[in-house]
Amino acid sequence: MYRYVIKRVLFIIPTILGVVFIILLTMSFTPGDPARALLGVAAPQADVDALNHQLGYDLPFTRKYVNYVENMIVHQDFGTSYFTKQPVFDEIWPRYQITIKLAFLGVFLAAVLGIPLGIYAAVRQYTLWDTIPSILAFMIAAIPAFVLGMVFLFYFSLKLNWLPSYGIDTLKHYIMPALAISIPPAAMNMRFMKSSMLESIRQDYVRTARAKGASERKVIWKHALMNALLPVITQIGLSLGTLIAGAVVAEKLFSIPGIGSLIVDRISYKDEPVIIAGTILIAICFTVVMLIVDLIYAWIDPRIRAKYARTKG
Amino acid sequence: MIRKPFGVGVAMTVLLGTGTAFAWTQGSDKPVKFRLVASLSSLDWEQTTNLRDMKVWHQMYEGLYGMDEAKNGYYPELAKKVDLSKNGLVYTITLQNGVKFQNGDPLKASDVVFSYRRAMKNPRFNYLTSMITDVAAVNDGTVKVTLNKPYSPIAHTFFCVKVLSEKEVTGQGPKFGTIPNKAGTGPYCASNYTIATGLKLEAWSGYWRGAPAIKNVEYVVIPDDTSAVIAYQNGELDYLEDTPLSAWKDVSKAAGDHGKLIKGNNIMFMAVNYLSPGHKALANQKVREAIFYAVNKHDINLAVCDGYGMEATQYMPSEYVPASPSTGFKTYAFDPAKAKKLLAEAGFPKGVDVGAIMTYGTSTSNNAKMAQVLQANLADVGINATVSVAEAAIVTPKLYNQDYDICVFSDSGNYDYNNIRQQVHSESKGMYVIKYQGGPFDWKKLETLCDQGAAISDTDKRRAIYTQLWSLVMDSATILPCLHRPVGVVWSKRLDIGQPVPTYYKIRTFSLK
């Protein structure tokens, strides 16, 4: 098991190298250059060329790639923003923390709202407790986060004046954006959970458990749910990645200084150091989350545990 | 298990519903809040020419000249007296007495020299400083600015170049602009600056005109227009400029006497490139005139400004530019029949393909909307064009290299002659969308008029020169002013802002009721 974990952690390294490669390559294909974006259209070409040289933008692609990786690994230096002249890490880290908090809160709410409703709908199949949540989930899953965000802003901020419309200073600031980004995945979780649960409660082992006289609560919680959770956990792990990247909508709408909106803003300035570093942090987070998902899998599913135990032996 | 969803629902309801109503801090020490559409990139005014950032710096730093849009333009600010030599090349500027930087040091001529030399080294400001050959201190209170040719629009340079404390700038070194400083002479200095969230300003008690009435100011980043409107309506913002015109009806109703739609100095233009690489028909004067007559500015106004704009006939609004002529040149009133006739005379009775209408911004930007209206207007008279919208960084080099067919662009009136010069003079080094030099126009006269206008300080004489120049440009059917976009300004009921202005508001003139 430890070997598996170490192997998965080490897998982060080629992932990051690949991310840096792809972004640098993509940026090299896009028109324009940072010096022109920074100095403006009126600046003489000689000055633009000089600044591009100073920024290292005119280096060959492979040299740029090697330099970036070397600075990142050897000096832990992500560079300086072309746009603000500030160290990239100083600029990104506070925003990254905000986005991560928002995304995890979104995933948590999506799980807390979606999973119990899914279980309940499955065990009460063909009743109103199943039909109404299922129809609602079907509708809500189709509503984009920004539409929900607008509705929340209008209702909770403008009409009721309960919640602030911008910023991220207090817990209250998190409520609307977290709900806006969590409700669509909550609907997805609900539908996943319901179908997985329905499949699970029709399995032979569940019938056997009932035949052995186990209580309904025990049958549902111990036998059916643990197996039904596996695909839902994968879905939740994947939705975290979607939420980190997709939080940009909520960040823009609720004026939250997160990493998604930063990357989007800096693309127009070709601020490569910020774009690359921001993407690397998102990639690391996503890889770590997927690792955690796999570990939870192993923890929940005795078959996987047994497989690793055999490998070890 | 059954109770869990209800428990969650109840918890959320309690969290949202029974929590204390969001209480905004009340009282006179509550900061007056302004909106930033995007992060302020720096506190160093030399880092960008972005108007959005300049409006903020304007509260902290001052130039030799100030700008009052409500009273027709420039006025001496840090300059007390300005003398011009007989040959029009040397400005001798006496500085105001008793001006101090926010760090307490007195303003000296050496600080002015330092600030100008710093700006002159910055290629971004080449368009403002290229006519200056030297700036020197005569004594602590007098500066001498020498030009390489007479240049009457120098007031714009004197306004844009902000005077900084040499000691503060050199003291902070490379960090200058990234952290709060006390390098300005303005009424406010930064107390807290975070690129991500915004800027806090505090009034400087030693300000040379007297401490401003509003003590605390906060600029908050709110990128989304709808969110900004909601923030204003629920009292989280005190001053909102560039209110989305689609929401103007509701917002102005809520604002009552605390809102005004002001004619902006920003003008939207259409340019037709007679040097189009792919569509030679645009080299034909009659085709270009047909295009001009096909443009329905009323439609553009409806699409871009919900009808709140003003159809433009001038290059720069004469309300803000005293030397800008308003009559005496062709204006191309909408006339589709004439457009069709001209097209037929040009040899295209069945219509013509003129390539793409290129512009920058997003697909829903004002420029893109105008391009779409133009496309429809042109189609109505048999002129076929596509619309191409891309990032400014991609489009503007194409425009300045004349690598386009038709384009839509916006420009702010610089309150003086700079814009015209930038657009038509060959010395403007790649800043013009139409290359008049060497073209089938009287471009030499155009440039002569440009230089004459820049060399004369008398407003009436300059207006006469610009009328001639403007006639030449209009007759060439190359650049058509289409729309003045209005600026919707609303402010909170606790604020008294005096007469609202479209761009350079001064918080020092605001007060709390």
**CATH number (domain holding residue A284):** 1.10.3720.10
> Which chain B residue is nearest to residue A121, measuring alpha carbons?
B2
Residue of B nearest to A118 (CA): B5
A154 touching chain B per CB within 8 A:
yes
In chain B, which segments carry CATH 3.40.190.10?
11-220
Q: A89 — contact with chain B (CB < 8 Å)?
A: no
A98: alpha, beta or left? (left if phi > 0; alpha if psi -120 to 50) = alpha
Q: What is the distance between the alpha carbons of residues B109 and A273, in angstroms, rounded to a whole number?
A: 40
Residue to substitute from B6, B14, B16, B432, interface A, most A β-carbons within 10 A: B16
Task: Please indicate, yes or no, if residue A85 is contained in any of the structural domains.
Answer: no
| All CATH 3.10.105.10 domain ranges in chain B, comma separated | 266-484
Predicted pLDDT at A78: 86
The three-class DSSP label of residue B19 is coil
The B residues from 111 to 140 touching A (CB cutoff 8 Å) are 123-124, 126-127
Give residue A309's pLDDT.
62
A169 plus A229 within the same structural domain? yes
Share of chain A above pLDDT 90, in %: 8
Buried b (16+ CB within 10 A) or exposed e, B227-254: bbbbbbbbebbbbbbbbebebbeebbee
Q: Return the axis-axis angle of helices A88-123 and A259-267, rounded to nearest 10°.
A: 120
Please give the average per-residue pLDDT across B341-348, as a whole number: 96
Give the whole-angstrom CA distance, residue B320 versus residue B156: 13
Q: Is A109 in the same domain as A10?
A: no
- Rounded CA-CA distance B507/B31 in Å is 12
Lowest mean pLDDT among B251-260, B360-369, B488-497: B360-369
Residue with the larger pLDDT of the pair B328 and B389? B389
Predicted local confidence at residue B363, as pLDDT: 74
Q: Provide the pLDDT confidence category of residue B467 given band limits of 50, 70 and 90.
A: very high
Reported as a single tens digit per residue, the pLDDT across B247-263 is 999 999 989 999 999 88
**Regarding the domain delimited by B266-484, which CATH topology (the fold level of the hierarchy) does it fall under?**
Dipeptide-binding Protein; domain 3 (3.10.105)
B314 — pLDDT class (breaks 50, 70, 90) = confident
Q: DSSP assignment, residue B25?
A: P
Mean pLDDT in residue range B482-486: 92
Burial of A147 (0-12, 13-18, 19+ CB in 10 A): middle
* Together in a domain, A228 and A151: yes
The pLDDT of residue B200 is: 96
Q: Using CA atoms, how far apart are residues B295 and B292, in angstroms rounded to an integer? A: 6
The whole-number average pLDDT for the span B480-491 is 93
pLDDT of residue B20: 38
Q: Closest by alpha carbon to A133, among A194, A224, A216, A198? A: A194
- Residue A2 pLDDT more than 80? no
Q: Is B68's pLDDT higher than 90?
A: no
B237 has a pLDDT exceeding 90? yes
Kindly state whether residues A63 and A110 are assigned to the same domain. no
Taking residues A11-36, report their average pLDDT.
Answer: 82
CA B473 from chain center: how many Å?
22
- pLDDT higher than threshold 70 for residue A61: yes
Question: Chain B: nearest CA to A262, how far in angstroms?
Answer: 8
pLDDT, tens digit, for every residue of B161-170?
Answer: 999 999 999 9
Lowest mean pLDDT among A45-49, B214-218, B389-393, B410-414: B410-414
**A253 closest CB neighbour out of B127, B195, B227:** B227
Domain end point (choices A74, A101, A118)? A74
Q: Average pLDDT over chain A, rounded to whole?
A: 83
The confidence score (pLDDT) of residue B196 equals 80
In this structure, the answer to whether residues A270 and A135 fall within a common structural domain is yes
Report pLDDT digits (tens) over B425-464: 776 666 688 998 888 999 899 889 988 888 887 888 988 9
| pLDDT at residue B17, as a whole number | 38
Judging by DSSP bridges, how do beta strands B90-95 and B132-139 pair with one another? Answer: unpaired
Report in angstroms the alpha-carbon separations of B10 from A3, A113, B4.
45, 12, 10
How many helical (H) and strand (E) elements, i.e. helices and strands, does chain A have?
A: 15, 0
Shared domain check, A114 and A22: no
Q: What's residue B430's pLDDT?
A: 63
Closest CA of chain B from A42, distance in Å: 6
- With residue B138 as reference, give the H or E element that holds it: strand B132-139
Q: For residue A159, what are the domain limits? A: 90-312
The yes/no answer on whether domain B11-220 falls in CATH 3.30.1330.90 is no
A64 and A94 share one domain: no
Q: Give long-range contacts, CB 8 A cutoff, 24+ apart: A281-284.
A: A281/A92, A281/A96, A282/A244, A282/A245, A283/A15, A283/A16, A283/A19, A284/A12, A284/A15, A284/A16
Average pLDDT of span B68-94: 90
Task: Convert A259-273 to b/e letters by CB count within 10 Å (16 or more is b).
Answer: bbbbbebbbebbbbb
Among A69, A63, A76, A75, residue whose Cα is nearest residue A17:
A69
Q: Are the beta carbons of A268 and B392 separated by less than 8 Å? A: yes
Instruction: Report CB contact under 8 Å: A158, B230.
Output: yes
Residue A108 pLDDT exceeds 60: yes
Q: Check CB contact of B94 with chain A, cutoff 8 Å.
A: no
Q: CA-based angle A65:A67:A73, to the nearest 5?
A: 100
> In one letter, which amino acid is B478?
T
Q: Which helix (H) or strand (E) holds A9?
A: helix A2-10
pLDDT at A79: 83
Question: CA distances (Å), A239 to each of A183, A245, B91, B152, in order?
Answer: 12, 10, 65, 62
Residue ranges of the alpha helices (H) in B19-146? 51-57, 109-121, 126-129
Token digits of residue A105: 């809160």
Shared domain for A190 and A259, answered yes or no, is yes
pLDDT at A234: 82
Q: Which tokens in the block code for residue B114? A: 């330092």
Which residue stretches of B316-442 are H helix? 336-345, 366-380, 392-400, 418-424
- Average pLDDT for residues B305-309, to the nearest whole number? 93
The share of chain B scoring above pLDDT 70, in percent, equals 92
One-letter amino acid for residue A31 of the chain: P
Both A256 and A181 in one domain: the answer is: yes
Residue B27 has pLDDT above 60, yes or no: no
Residue B11 has pLDDT above 60, yes or no: no
Longest dimension (CA), chain A: 85
What is the pLDDT at residue B3?
A: 41
Question: Cβ contact (<8 Å) for A270 and B400?
Answer: no
| Percent over 90 (pLDDT), chain B | 60
Q: What is the pLDDT of residue B18?
A: 37
Q: Binning pLDDT at 50, 70 and 90, where does residue B7 land? A: very low
> In a mutagenesis test of the B interface, which of A85, A128, A259 is the best target, namely the one with the most B β-carbons within 10 Å?
A85
* B331 touching chain A per CB within 8 A: no
Task: With a cut of 60, say whether residue B13 has pLDDT above it.
Answer: no
- Amino acid letter, B276: S
Q: Answer whether B230 touches A (CB < 8 Å).
A: yes
Unique residue bearing structure tokens 């499955």: A122
Residues A162 and A271 in one domain: yes
Average pLDDT value for residue range A237-254: 81
**In degrees, to the nearest 5, what angle opens at C-alpha B357 toward C-alphas B352 and B362?**
155
Distance CA B480, CA A207 (A): 80
pLDDT score, position B31:
94
State whether A132 and A186 are in the same domain. yes
Write the CA distances from A128 to A60, A120, A192, integer angstroms: 64, 11, 19
Residue given tokens 């009034």 in the structure block? B203
In B19-131, the DSSP E strands lie at 32-36, 62-63, 65-68, 73-76, 79-84, 90-95
Residues A170, A240 within the same domain? yes
Query: Which backbone phi and psi does A103 adopt, to 5 degrees?
Result: -65, -45
Residue A76: predicted pLDDT = 82
Give the mean pLDDT of chain B.
Answer: 88
DSSP class of residue B16? I
pLDDT band at B6 (very low <50, low <70, confident <90, very high): very low
Considering only CB atoms, which chain A residues are within 8 Å of B396?
41
Q: Which two tokens stand for residue B53?
A: 């950032």
Q: Residue B14: pLDDT above 60? A: no
CB-based contact (8 Å) between B173 and chain A? no
B266 beta partners: B412
Count of structural domains, chain A: 2
Query: Residue B260 forms beta bridges with which residues?
Result: B489
Sequence-distant (≥ 6) Cβ neighbours of residue B513 within 8 angstroms: B493, B494, B495, B496
User: What DSSP string describes B287-303?
Assistant: HHHHHHHH--HHHHHHH
* A24 domain residue, yes or no: yes
Q: Which two tokens stand for residue A47?
A: 């000055």
Q: Is the pLDDT of residue B26 over 50?
A: no
Report, as an integer, the average pLDDT of A169-195. Answer: 89
Instruction: Determine contact, residues B246/B306, Cβ cutoff 8 Å.
Output: yes
Residue B347 structure tokens: 């040899």
The verdict on a CB contact (< 8 Å) between B5 and A120 is yes
- Is residue A252 in some structural domain? yes
User: Do the Cβ atoms of B397 and A32 come within 8 Å?
Assistant: yes
On the question of pLDDT at B472 being above 70, the answer is: yes
pLDDT at position A131 is 85
Specify whether the CB–CB gap between B63 and B163 falls below 8 A: yes
Q: Of B9, B62, B67, nearest to B204 (Cα)?
A: B62
Greatest mean pLDDT range, A11-15, A122-126, B74-78, B417-421: B74-78
**pLDDT for residue B105 is more than 90:** yes
Q: Which of A12, A42, A74 is the last residue of a domain?
A: A74
On whether the CB atoms of residues A45 and B126 are closer than 8 A, the answer is: no
pLDDT of amino acid B465: 92
Q: Of A31, A49, A74, which residue is a domain's last?
A: A74
At residue B302, what is the residue type?
L
Quick: pLDDT tens for A269-288: 778 889 888 888 888 888 88
Q: Is A53 on the interface with B (CB under 8 A)?
A: no
pTM here is: 0.82
Tokens matching residue B302: 């409806």
Query: pLDDT value at position A123?
Result: 84
Closest chain B residue to A163, measured at CA:
B22
By CB atoms closer than 10 A (0-12, 13-18, 19+), residue A89 is middle
Angle at A237 between CA A233 and CA A241, to 5 degrees: 160
Q: Are A116 and B126 an interchain contact pair (Cβ–Cβ within 8 Å)?
A: no
Chain B within 8 Å of A132 (Cβ-Cβ)?
Answer: no
